[in-house]
Amino acid sequence: MRRLVLAIALSLLVLGAAPGGATADGTPANPQQQLAIIQQIRAQLGSNLADALAAQQQLRQSLQANSAQQQQVQGKISEIEAKIANLDDQIAAAQLREAILARRIDTERTQIRQLARSVYESPGSVLLVLAQSQSLSDLFTRVADLNVGRGPPISRPRLPPISRSSSRSARRSRRRGMSR
């Protein structure tokens, strides 16, 4: 652009400094001089035009390269956004698992605490339960609780089965003892 302005200014200088001067219509009187000026202006305008076209071509290439770079960067941004979304999903799943495990741990701690308390507070033997019982029903309840807490039932001594003949003789002996 600068060169174009320079070329126009130079041509005006050349026209104004011509020996024949300018006529009323503004053109030099000598046709040879006119042709020289026109060729000089064409040469100057041609080089300026060539420079402008080269600059335009370079600008077009730069814009195309910039567009390609923008597309690459946009593609990378899309990939990274997908990775971020995936990581966000993984974080949310991990936080959910953590919350579930925390609740499970709290529940199991509570159960262990209750179990430890019951084991600590429960007597170790049936004789101790018998001694601590306040009534017969309390004894049965404590023995049942003791059996539930331990798993296998408390072993009881088994009595031999009573036969009918021995039960009759026992009744007779009782009757005899009463009659005396």
Digits of tens for pLDDT over the chain (180 positions)?
667 766 776 666 666 555 544 444 555 568 788 888 878 877 777 777 778 778 888 999 999 999 999 999 999 999 999 999 999 999 999 999 999 999 999 999 999 888 888 777 766 676 777 777 888 888 788 777 766 655 444 444 454 555 555 555 555 555 555 554
At residue 120, the 3 state secondary structure works out as helix
Q: Quick one: angle between helices 2-16 and 31-121, nearest 10?
A: 160
Would you say 103 and 97 are in contact if contact means Cβ atoms under 8 Å apart? no
At residue 155, the 3 state secondary structure works out as coil
Nearest Cα to 45, choosing from 103, 99, 76, 3? 3
pTM value? Answer: 0.39
Contacts of 6 (CB under 8 A, 6+ apart): 44
Would you say 45 and 4 are in contact if contact means Cβ atoms under 8 Å apart? yes
Determine the pLDDT at residue 80.
Answer: 97
Determine the pLDDT at residue 150.
Answer: 53
Would you say 6 and 47 are in contact if contact means Cβ atoms under 8 Å apart? no
Would you say 43 and 51 are in contact if contact means Cβ atoms under 8 Å apart? no
What are 56's two structure tokens? Answer: 């335009």
Q: Where are the alpha helices (DSSP H) in the chain?
A: 2-16, 31-121, 126-132, 136-150, 164-179
Nearest Cα to 10, choosing from 45, 49, 46, 52? 45
Number of other residues whose CB lies within 10 A of the CB of residue 129: 20
* Residue in the structure block whose two tokens are 């262990």: 112
Nearest Cα to 8, choosing from 41, 37, 32, 39? 41
